[in-house]
Structure 1
Amino acid sequence: MNWQTRKDYLKQFPVEIPTKAFDRYGDILLDWNERMNLTRITDEDDMMDKHFIDSLTPTLASAYEGTGKILDLGTGAGFPGMVLAMVSPERDVHLMDSLNKRITFLDHVVKELGLTNVSTFHGRAEEAGRDRKFREQYGLVVSRAVARLPILAEYCLPFVRLGGHLIAMKGAEAVEEVEEAKRAIEILGGQLEEIVDLRLPGGDERHLVVIKKVKGTPEKYPRGGGKPRKDPL
């Protein structure tokens, strides 16, 4: 990936960008993608912008500051969580996904890149969010391309500790989703803190919806049996 073409854009990020490690990660992803469906994005510039640079955007939110544990829920091929772990080696980053084949891939990436601050977990949000090992244990939860915000809030907010934050990475419909999710956010103990508006180098619109955990999530959430998707709050 030709990072020089994005040099000016990358200056805004408050972290050191390990471009060689990103290149290696990209190579591994493309290699594994030939055997399993991990990403539809295979063009070099698109991968640079829509995977790696997009995954850096949570660092632009004030809620990213600190040293607390990070959870990437529904991490897929590791975006944004693996990227955040690479630029914030001082923080423990947990990657959770419901498909075990993705966890196998992520474990391989961790080993190949020698990352010591990443842990992977195979699990569903509806179940893990009720497990005391994970429930309200994270200073920051991030999630990208998992579900619309009313659903995502029920998946993610049970994992956020009091005073912590959820950063939901959204596209052009972010404001509409926030309106849809107002009731869910309140029920689940959250409060909208800010929306960070930005554009990727290729022009794609992005919004970081930052929600602060201001009170505990009621014990009955998250609901099981697929109810968050079937009947959003």
Structure 2
Amino acid sequence: MLSNESEARAWLETLPEWDAAARDRMEALTVLLREENTRQNLVSVASLEQVWLRHIADSAQLLRHVPRETSSPWLDLGTGAGFPGLVVAALRPECEVVMVESRGRRAEWLGRAVMALGLPHARVEGRTLETIATRPFRVISARAFAPLPKLLVLSARFSTSTTRWLLPKGQSARQELLDLTGWSHMFHVEQSHSDANAGVIVGTLAGTKGNKP
């Protein structure tokens, strides 16, 4: 379990995706985030004091659940300040990452960050999820996007029976999964690597009960 900035940075260096280029992109991302946070409230000011733990490592831990060869295309819902979408794209720049963010100013900043970090396969969809054309994705992630039932209703059309879902849910992860009804799934909760009180819902979705997508 990671508990501070030094441990978070040391852990990142153990990732197979980590090299000098990845380090430079992550350093640049933290600078971009701090600068933009003075113009719009992307993240809490307090969390910037632990940006490597609270945002970078917290996002990067999702890669442990997805082999590199099966991570593209990746759909990230409600990317907001870039987590986990920008971190995933920065660590796996060869991967197609589609980041959905309906809030205009945040979407504009994400687009600028994609350009600044040199991520040719990352794309920002600055509109609501409902207006995006249906297509299958290999991975779907969402950090604080919506309660689990609503999230599935909105995004199940992008999933196949082999799509990997990665849903950081904080302290509510286990309860949200226990309360989920009406869906045929193979979800379970993984302990967060960056927060002792948080969990990540991981797994696959077959569809609503009696109706496979």
TM-score (ref. length: structure 1): 0.77
Distance (whole Å) between structure 2 residues aligned to residue 153 and residue 136 of structure 1:
15
Per the alignment, residue 124 of structure 1 pairs with 128
Q: Structure 1 residues 70 and 196 mapped into 2: Cα distance closer, same or farther (>3 Å)?
A: same
Deviation of the 1:56 alpha carbon: 0.5
2:97 aligned with 1:105, yes or no? no
Contact 2:5/2:50 (8 A) holds in 1: no
Q: What secondary structure sits across from 2:155 in the alignment?
A: helix
The amino acid that maps onto 2:177 is V
Match of 2:205 in 1: 213
Q: Deviations over 1:139-158 (max 9, x none)?
A: 11100011221122222222
Determine if contact 1:70/1:94 at 8 Å carries over to the other structure: yes
Say whether residues 1:79 and 2:71 are aligned partners.
no
Provide the rounded CA distance (Å) in 2 between the counterparts of 1:213 and 1:30.
37
Once the two structures are superposed, residues 50-109 of structure 1 have per-residue CA deviations (whole angstroms, 9 ceiling, x without a partner) of: 111111111121477514200111000111011001111221001111111111101111
Give 1:218 deviation, angstroms. Answer: 10
Q: Residue 92 of structure 1 aligns with which residue? A: 96
The verdict on how the C-alpha distance between 1:218 and 1:160 changes in structure 2, with shifts beyond 3 A counting, is: farther
Q: Percent identity?
A: 23
1:143-192 Cα shifts (integer Å, max 9, x gaps): 00112211222222222234212211111221100012232x33xxxx12
The letter for the 2-side match of 1:157 is A
CA 1:194–1:33: 2 relative to 1, 3 Å: same
Deviation at 1:137, TM superposition (A): 1.9
Q: In the alignment, residue 20 of structure 1 is paired with which amino acid?
A: D
Q: Which residue of 2 aligns with 1:139?
A: 138
Unpaired runs of at least 5, structure 1 = 222-233
* TM-score normalised by L of structure 2: 0.84
**Aligned pairs (5 A) from 1:18-167:** 18-62=22-66, 66-128=70-132, 131=133, 135-167=134-166
Mapped partners of 1:60, 1:41: distance in 2:
28
- Give CA deviations for 1:20-40 in whole Å, capped at 9, x if unaligned: 321211111121121222111
Residue aligning to 2:11? 9
2:200 matches 1:198: no
> 1:186-230 deviations in whole A, cap 9, x for unaligned?
3xxxx1243221331xx44332212313358999x9xxxxxxxxx
- Partner of 1:226 in structure 2? none
8 Å CA contact retained: 2:156, 2:207? no
Deviation, 1:42, is: 5.0
Kindly tell me the number of residue pairs found equivalent between the two proteins.
Answer: 207
Q: Aligned equivalents of 1:112 and 1:95: distance in 2?
A: 16
Query: CA separation in 2, counterparts of 1:30 and 1:218?
Result: 47
